Amino acid sequence: MRSVLIVEPVVHRDGRGFFLESYNAAMFARGGVDRPWVQDNHSRSNRDTVRGLHLQCRRQQAKLVRVTRGEVFDVAVDVRRGSPSFLEWTGCLLSEDNFRQLFIPRGFAHGFCVVSETAEVQYKCDEYYDGDDELAIAWNDPQIGIDWPIEEPLLSGRDRAAPTIAGCFEQLPTFSW
């Protein structure tokens, strides 16, 4: 999907360990990601945890996601009504070893599944969190059809009760050129 970006930073390794720039505003702007990040979030989750699919509908957020411990299968889904790529999803492994980051644009739902014993996920947001505006969508919605690497996840109560796309369609953001 064109608007979701997998970022692979340059990693400098030597006998002491490694160094990388996890964020450089000028470099990201040259790549088309010019965002005023306003909030950083950090979560720790256990194996088989699925968090998501989540998004804010009115105060939409772009996110830049990375893993600092462990490994997750990270997913972005275009849920903008009227978008040419509506309900298309992309997923990739993010880990402490591959250093990849995933840029998720506004209007996309985000979720991840922990595939290591534990994982710590950190992400930047370009809009503040608003719990009253957050929408959860069923992680296993067959209309989206994400190929998760798990069948029996650990879920929060809210994620377990999340509606399918059909059940929350009118709440979804609208695509605009």
Catalytic residue ranges: 54, 123
Q: Which amino acid is at 15?
A: G
- Taking a C-beta distance cutoff of 8 angstroms, is the pair 129, 88 a contact? no
Q: What angle do CA 52, 58, 86 make, to 5 degrees?
A: 60
Residues 7 and 100 sit within 8 Å (Cβ to Cβ): yes
Please choose, from the candidates 22, 5, 129, 2, the residue with its C-alpha nearest in 3D space to the C-alpha of residue 67: 22
Alpha helices in 31-161 (DSSP H): 157-160
Q: Is 124 exposed, middle or buried (0-12, 13-18, 19+ CB in 10 A)?
A: buried
Name every residue whose Cβ is closer than 8 Å to that of residue 5 and which is 6 or more positions away in sequence. 31, 32, 33, 102, 103
Phi and psi of 71, rounded to 5°? -150, 140
